[in-house]
Amino acid sequence: MKTNGNRPHRSTSTRVLTVAACAALLALLATGCASTGTDAAAASSAKPSKASKCGLGNGKTATGPAIKLGAIVSDTPGLSFTDVTDMANAYFSCVNANGGIIGRPVKLVVEKDALDPQLTASLATKLIDTEKIVGFTASSSVLDCSVNAKTYEKKAVYGIDAGLALDCFNSPAIAPVNVGASYSALATAQYLLDKGAKKLVVFTSNTPGSNAINASIKELGKKAGVPVTAWVENVPVADANGLALKAAQAAGAGGGVVVNLNAGEALKVFKAIEQQGLIDQAIWGCPAGCNDQSMLQQLGSAWDGKLGVNAEMNLASSPGPDNQLYLQLRRKYAPKTQLGNFGQLGFTAARIAVQALLSIKSGDYTTATVGAAFKGVKDYRSDLYCKPWYFGTQTFHTANNTTRTITPKSGQWTQTQDCSEMPALPNNNFAKIRAYEKQIGLG
């Protein structure tokens, strides 16, 4: 007490100092660095169709006890996927204002995780045991599948998610609406081959499973008779210039490079490539993580037409009715989300979940009935997809296996390659998946 009592003014002023410094900073910078894209920027040449409806579309507000769905989403500096859950929530809000699930509202309980497996595991427990959710929708977490997939399988809680790790695509309980970093990298490599790359170079951020991604691209190279150089790169990248140079040297003349890093890290590398005048030395590609509006704004005109980015969904400027609904809901409920891919994925996951919930006629929404309804989704069609989406009964799921490639052009993403099939290789499941699709009549 003595120490404190003698100098109360000091402790107070220290606190005042820090608080004042923070406040000044916040006030100065409240707006952040880059502005989010507006719909106006997404205006397309084609005449947009009328937006689709939300759920029942009857304009009646849903009442009564909510049907609870859950989501775990990563939100950590440099790796934030909250756009996915924010847009899923936007769609649920619209559904709840339009008759809900036969009168009952849907509630998405969103838990944010970081890169801590104990946290991710405890959040799954919280959602399943405490919140009593009946299924997962629009989860988009770096660790969720690696840590929790076995729990979901054991407890028979099903999810329609936006998967990141390969584990999300190899679980009977999870059907991702997206392609995922791994297969997206493979699709990007295929695009580079289609563009005539004489050699493939790939570097993948060093996380568990990154070697598997590199191995699949090596297999692709073997099939196409093209040499492949692959390595894993520690993130955060501390010397992007050196990495860019190394990649360009490895590619040699006419080679293609897959920059398989998340958007923030990839941007550092692209800036380094630009700075050193290496853009034209190779063909550059990036998986779906780069399909990001803030990335597009930072890239600048030097990259116009020079970078192929794998796109899991149709362009945000496309005229289809589902995309129009997405744009409308983003404007109304989630204007702070980035325009494009991640929001579209959350929107799509929520839309599929609602379609599944509406198919339950008993009015009884439990883990079992909702799980069965999720698994029963067989022919979800949307203008955001190349092909219909289904949940499927297999132990591995990649219904979204035909993707586009986009490239920046005067401040817009534009399509550079239309829907193309993910290459089937000995070390992936696409041959089996396509056979299954034929079997259920979607082939």
Partner 1 sequence: MNVLEDAHRTTAPDHARHPTAAIGHRLRQPLSAAAWPAAVAAAALLLPLFTSPYWIQVLTAAAVFSVAALGLSVLYGRVGLISLGQIAMLAVGGWTAERLGQTGALPFWLVLLATGVVTGLIGIVIGLPALRLSGLYLALITLMLAAAVTIVLTNTNFPNGGPGFLGYDPVKSGTVPLARPAVAAGDTAYFRYTVVVCVLMFLLAIAHTRGRPGRAWAAIRQSEHAAVAAGINVTLYKLWAFALACFMTGVAGALLAASAGGLTVYQFPPQESITLLAALLMAGMYHFAGAVVAGLMLKAMPALLDTWGVSGNVLLIVFGVGLVQTLVTSPEGIAGQMSRDLARLGARVGMRRTTS
Partner 2 sequence: MPSLLPFLVLGLALGGVFSLSGVGIVVLYRTTGVLYLAGGAVGAVGAFTACSLATTAGLSVWPAAALGVALSAAITLVYGLLLGPRLAQREPLVKAAATLGLTLVLLGTMSWIWGAQTYSLSLPTTAWGIVLGTVHVNGTQLISLALGLLLTAVTAVFLDRTALGTAMRALADDRESSALLGVPVRRVEAAAWLGSGVVFGVAGIVLSNLVGLDINGLTFLIISGLAAALVGRLESLWTTLAAGLVIGVAQSLLTPVASLSSYRSMTPFLVAIAVVLVMAVRRPSQTRV
Q: Rule CB under 8 A: which residues touch partner 1?
A: 1-4, 7, 10-11, 14-15, 18-19, 22, 111-112, 114-123, 125-126, 129-130, 143, 145-150, 165-167, 170, 206-212, 215, 234
Which entry of partner 1, partner 2, none binds 237, CB below 5 to 8 A by partner kind?
Answer: partner 2
**Which of partner 1, partner 2, none does 209 bind, CB closer than 5 to 8 A by kind?**
partner 1
With contact defined as beta carbons under 8 Å apart, do 137 and 71 qualify? yes
| Phi, psi at 285, each rounded to 5° | -140, 155
Tokens of 132: 């009593």
| E strands, 206-241, in order | 228-233
Please give the angle made by the CA atoms of 33, 275 and 79, to the nearest 5 degrees: 40
CB-facing half-sphere around the CA of 314: CA atoms within 13 A: 21
Work out what residue 242 binds among partner 2, partner 1, none; the CB cut-off runs from 5 to 8 Å by kind.
partner 2
- In Å, the largest CA–CA distance within the chain is 81
Q: How far is the CB of 22 from partner 2 (least distance, A)?
A: 6
Q: What is the DSSP letter of 140?
A: B
- Side-chain half-sphere CA neighbours of 357 within 13 A: 33
CB of 1 to partner 1, least distance (A): 7
DSSP state of 288: G
Which of 44, 49, 52, 80 contacts partner 2 by CB under 8 A?
A: 80
Q: Which of 1, 2, 4, 28 binds partner 2 (CB under 8 A)?
A: 28
Helices and strands (H and E) in the chain: how many:
14, 13
**Segment lying near partner 2 (by CB under 8 A), choices 123-131, 148-156, 161-169, 258-266:** 258-266
Give dist(CA 150, CA 147) in Å, integer: 8
Residue 233 near residue 243 (C-beta atoms within 8 A): yes
CB of 146 to partner 1, least distance (A): 5
Q: Is 295 in the site for partner 2 (CB under 8 A)?
A: yes
Q: Which is nearer to partner 2, 268 or 397 (CB)?
A: 268
Residue closer to partner 1 by CB (options 10, 332) is 10
Residue from 104, 268, 397, 404 binding partner 2 (CB under 8 A): 268
The answer to whether 342 touches 79, Cβ cutoff 8 Å, is no
Q: What does the per-residue mask of binding to partner 2 show for 327-356, with x meaning CB under 8 A?
A: -----------x------------------
Residues 200-239 that bind partner 2 (CB under 8 A): 206, 231-234, 236-239
The nearer residue to partner 2, 31 or 130, going by C-beta atoms, is 31
For residue 211, give Cα distances in angstroms to 30, 82, 141, 260, 372.
40, 27, 20, 12, 35
Residue 316 zone, left/alpha/beta (φ > 0; ψ -120 to 50; rest)? alpha
Angle between helices 341-358 and 82-96 (to 10 degrees): 40
Kindly state the smallest distance separating residue 304's Cβ from partner 2, in Å.
15
- Beta strands (DSSP E) in 149-219 are 159-161, 174-176, 199-205
- 2, 8, 33, 47: which one contacts partner 2 (CB under 8 A)? 33
Complex with partner 2: residue 212 or 431, whichever CB lies closer: 212
C-alpha dihedral, 378 to 382 to 384 to 385, nearest 10°: 40
Q: Extract the tokens encoding 70.
A: 């859950």
Q: How far is the CB of 21 from partner 1 (least distance, A)?
A: 10
Distance in Å, CB of 48 to partner 2, minimum: 27
Q: Which is nearer to partner 2, 302 or 372 (CB)?
A: 302
Q: What is the spatial distance between Cα 197 and Cα 190, in angstroms, rounded to a whole number?
A: 9
State yes or no: residue 102 binds partner 2 (CB under 8 A).
no
Q: Computed over its alpha carbons, how large is the radius of gyration of the chain?
A: 23
CA 237, CA 88: separation in Å to the nearest integer? Answer: 32
29 forms part of the interface with partner 2 (CB under 8 A):
yes
Q: Please pick, from the candidates 34, 156, 212, 368, the single residue that binds partner 2 as defined by CB under 8 A.
A: 34
Binds partner 2 (CB under 8 A): choice among 105, 221, 264, 371: 264
Q: Decide: is 77 part of the binding site for partner 2 (CB under 8 A).
A: yes
Minimum Å gap between C-beta 79 and partner 1 is 10
Question: Which does residue 194 bind out of partner 2, partner 1, none, counting CB within 5 to 8 angstroms by kind?
Answer: none
Binding residues vs partner 2 (CB under 8 A): 10, 13-14, 17-18, 21-22, 25-26, 28-35, 75-78, 80, 82, 206, 231-234, 236-243, 245-246, 249-250, 263-265, 267-268, 271-272, 275-278, 292, 294-295, 298, 300, 338
